[in-house]
Amino acid sequence: MAIINPQAITSLCEKDHIFSAIIEKYGEAPNWERPEGFETLARIILEQQVSLESAQAAYQRLKQKLPVFAPTTILQLSDEEMRACSVSRQKTRYIKALAQAILNGDLDLEQLPTLPTETAKTELKKIVGIGEWTAKIYLMFCLQKEDIFPEGDIAAINTVKELWQAKSKEEVLEITKKWSPYRSAATYLLWHYYLCKRGRKAVL
């Protein structure tokens, strides 16, 4: 099921009028979605701790460099070639580790949709460079898992602090518990508010 769905929206609006206010002002959030697979996961790694625009530029350079965006072709690139595409040394290591894990059979991305959310997250986090945020973003955007809040996401955290007057990250997480089992839809609404308020568009 899509993260943004009538059941989720109704539930969230009934639990908290702030979600109703967001929709009234900016409309319903898009159901952001990306295809499953190595390319998307590598792209999410590129998005770690940088602006989406910067990550998008590196992703496009890398994509143009490759005949096909796949584990085998990534491993054929030298670190210098990756750096020329604006991929940092650390992220080069992470993306190549991911490529190797897939080729070795240590990570089976095709199996993830069949696993419970926590199990799928654990499988992803076994790979060097994939932490809580990266795993959760993949599970939300690619597998459309419905009850996730990415606590490492600055935009989501800051929006909760702004709209709910939360003072700490701990307070933010306590607030988000009330949105279960639709925390992913709540997060999409938070991102929607964050982007619309700033006149920005999501980079997909």
- The per-residue pLDDT for 1 is 83
Select from 201, 190, 185, 131 the least CA-distant residue to 155.
190
Helix axes 89-104, 38-46, angle to 10 degrees: 160
- The per-residue pLDDT for 52 is 86
pLDDT, tens only, 78-119: 999 999 999 999 999 999 999 999 999 999 999 999 999 999
Measured CA to CA in angstroms, residue 36 lies from 2, 33, 42, 103, 130 at distances of 14, 9, 11, 16, 16
The pTM for the full model equals 0.95
Q: Are 133 and 150 in contact (CB under 8 A)?
A: yes
CATH 3.20.20.70 assigned to domain 6-30+148-197? The reply is no
Q: Are 24 and 17 in contact (CB under 8 A)?
A: no
Identify the burial level of 23 via C-beta atoms within 10 angstroms of its C-beta, where 0-12 means exposed, 13-18 middle and 19 or more buried.
middle
Which DSSP string corresponds to 164-196?
H---SHHHHHHHHHTTTT-HHHHHHHHHHHHHH
How far apart (Å, rounded) are the C-alpha atoms in residues 119 and 126? 11
Provide the residue-wise pLDDT of the chain in tens; the chain has 204 residues.
899 999 999 999 999 999 999 999 999 999 999 999 999 999 999 999 998 889 999 999 999 999 999 999 999 999 999 999 999 999 999 999 999 999 999 999 999 999 999 999 999 999 999 999 999 999 999 999 999 999 999 999 999 999 999 999 999 999 999 999 999 999 999 999 999 999 987 766
6-30+148-197 and 38-141 agree in CATH topology:
no
DSSP state of 55: H
- The per-residue pLDDT for 200 is 85
- Written as one letter, the residue type at 30 is P
Domain boundaries, the chain: 6-30+148-197, 38-141
For 38-141, CATH gives 1.10.340.30
